[in-house]
């Protein structure tokens, strides 16, 4: 995997991780455009999310420090927030552990991604209509009762289908549970910490040998740095945008992208049988590898 390909995928990850358009779906589609396929590419698409995760940790560092301090002091608000984060993330972590391999084998392809993008876009239109007509009963995630926090966790399960978007699933759950849009986005970012953290670390440990030989740890480090910087910039911009706008623009983008991918796939231009497949030699001498087309 060449450095420029790592940079492209890392920028895509940073741009899409925290907005409701699906970073995994975009990474799958971009990998196909670049002609990259195989276990190493799928593993890198998961591991590179660690950079964006660290961006969220940095952006929310004050909330995290205050929450940790509050937990140590047994403050009710901090304890309630930690409880709700666990209820919002444990269902996803459990199902992902049980079905992760199956999901990769069946759903990491352009057609399932396009279907999820389209369905998610239509769902966002409904959510946007609901948001404009409802008055949120809660203002912050720690105010959610356990049952409503679990509702967010169950909605979060939809993120297991690539193209759905983790942030869309958790934000939708937050809106249904009774949070305003900005607070639902904040909660979605906080839910990324246990879910993305567990997924990336698990993938990094499990696939460390293939990542080392076919991507290179230097390239991985550069990719994490790039996704961190881009992700941090996107978080700030996205939250500012949500304070004055809704989700309509993202819904329309998803629908247009879904129709485009479906059109290309049905026409054969984006199918697995047509897109050139680049494999990566299993041995490298400099920490990266040069692709070739068989």
Per-residue confidence of the chain (294 residues) as pLDDT tens digits? 899 999 999 999 999 998 899 999 999 999 999 999 889 998 999 999 999 999 999 999 999 999 999 999 999 999 999 999 999 999 999 999 899 888 888 888 889 999 999 999 999 888 878 777 778 899 999 999 999 999 999 999 999 999 999 989 999 999 999 999 889 989 998 998 999 899 899 999 999 999 999 999 999 999 999 999 999 999 989 988 887 787 889 999 999 999 999 988 887 644 444 344 444 443 333 333 334 434
The answer to whether 49 and 17 have CB atoms below 8 angstroms apart is yes
Is residue 17 a contact partner of residue 234, using CB atoms and an 8 Å limit?
A: yes
Give which of 108, 113, 109 is closest to 259, Cα–Cα. 113
The CA R_g of the chain, rounded to the nearest whole Å, is 19
Q: Half-sphere exposure of 68 toward its Cβ, with a 13 Å CA cutoff?
A: 6
Please tell me the distance from the alpha carbon of residue 184 to that of residue 283, in angstroms, as a whole number. Answer: 45
Question: Quick count: other Cβ atoms within 10 Å of Cβ 106?
Answer: 11
- Contact by Cβ (8 Å): 175, 184: yes
Q: 88: which 2 tokens?
A: 């919002």
- 193 close to 199: Cβ distance less than 8 angstroms: no
In the DSSP assignment, the letter for residue 36 is B
């Amino acid at each position: 995997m060449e450095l420029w390909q790592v940079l492209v995928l890392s920028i895509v990850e940073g741009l899409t991780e925290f907005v409701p358009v699906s970073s995994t779906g975009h990474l799958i589609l971009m990998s196909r455009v670049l002609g990259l396929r195989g276990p190493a590419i799928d593993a890198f698409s998961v591991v590179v999310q660690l950079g964006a995760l660290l961006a969220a940790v940095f952006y929310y560092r004050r909330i995290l420090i205050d929450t940790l301090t509050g937990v140590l002091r047994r403050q009710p608000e901090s304890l309630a927030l930690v409880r709700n984060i666990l209820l919002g993330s444990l269902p996803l972590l459990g199902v992902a552990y049980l079905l992760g391999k199956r999901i990769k084998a069946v759903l990491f392809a352009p057609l399932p991604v396009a279907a999820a993008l389209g369905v998610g876009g239509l769902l966002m239109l409904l959510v946007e209509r609901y948001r404009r007509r409802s008055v949120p009963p809660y203002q912050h995630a720690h105010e959610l009762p356990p049952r409503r926090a679990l509702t967010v966790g169950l909605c979060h399960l939809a993120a297991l289908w690539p193209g759905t978007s983790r942030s869309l699933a958790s934000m939708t759950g937050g809106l249904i549970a009774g949070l305003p849009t900005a607070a639902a986005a904040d909660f979605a970012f906080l839910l990324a910490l246990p879910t993305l953290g567990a997924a990336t670390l698990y993938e990094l440990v499990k696939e460390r040998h293939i990542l080392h030989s076919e991507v290179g740890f230097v390239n991985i480090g550069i990719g994490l740095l790039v996704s961190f910087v881009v992700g941090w910039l996107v978080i700030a911009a996205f939250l500012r945008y949500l304070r004055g706008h809704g989700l309509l623009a993202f819904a329309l983008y998803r629908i247009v992208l879904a129709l485009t991918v479906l059109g290309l796939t049905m026409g054969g231009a984006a199918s697995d049988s047509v897109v050139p497949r680049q494999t990566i030699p299993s041995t490298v001498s400099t920490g990266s590898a040069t692709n070739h087309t068989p």
